[in-house]
Amino acid sequence: MSGATSESLQQETGPNPKAVERGFWCGVFAFVTWSAMGVESVLRPFQDNRRDTYWVLPFVLTVATFYYVHIIQRRRSRTETVGYIIVLIASALTLLGNIGLQFNLKALESLGFPGGAMVWLVGLVCFGIGTLMAGLLPKYAGWALILLEPSSILAALALSPVAPLLPRGAYSGNVGKGLAMGIVALALRKVVRHESRQF
């Protein structure tokens, strides 16, 4: 009974405004950094392994955004919770894979790709579906999460005539990730404005 009461209280009072605002700003900075990396890779279409290090910043900002998205809609959908946990596991695998890539540690590198990449894709689909089911954010936020990784792949393929696909050190596909994170940030901004009108 008490668990049901606490859940109903959270749904009645709405999301934590501070969490929503922090999530919005993390999403904005994720959008800016992903997009900047993508555009820079198009303008300088050659392998630059320093980008593998820079990649960590937008990735961490993205995971931080997901944290706040989860905080404001948790307990509204079990699918969302499962998806979020899978995304966290994938994030750890991907970061370890990035370390392996930079230090030429094959055992760690394989954790990031294909291991972490596949888990990341599955987790985002579950997280996005759970966000749609939770109904707190606009529906386009859920679709942005579902399509975040496919949009990156499609962007890289679309830009390949001017920015060739390379095994590492090239991130033209980040344009797609930036777009998806920008959409998530817009959804969070809409919730911020909605909450501010209530007070």
Cis, bond preceding 17 (omega within 30 deg of 0): no
pLDDT top residue among 2 and 175: 175
- Residue pair 172/36 in contact (Cβ under 8 Å)? The answer is no
Using the predicted structure, report yes or no on whether residue 92 has a pLDDT greater than 90: yes
d(CA 181, CA 65): 9
d(CA 128, CA 146): 5
Task: With residue 185 as reference, give the H or E element that holds it.
Answer: helix 174-197
**What is the pLDDT at residue 172?**
97
Using the predicted structure, report yes or no on whether residue 45 has a pLDDT greater than 70: yes
pLDDT top residue among 90 and 107: 90
Task: With residue 51 as reference, give the H or E element that holds it.
Answer: helix 50-54
**What is the pLDDT at residue 12?**
46
What are the domain boundaries of the chain?
Answer: 2-197
d(CA 27, CA 10): 23
Using the predicted structure, report yes or no on whether residue 3 has a pLDDT greater than 80: no
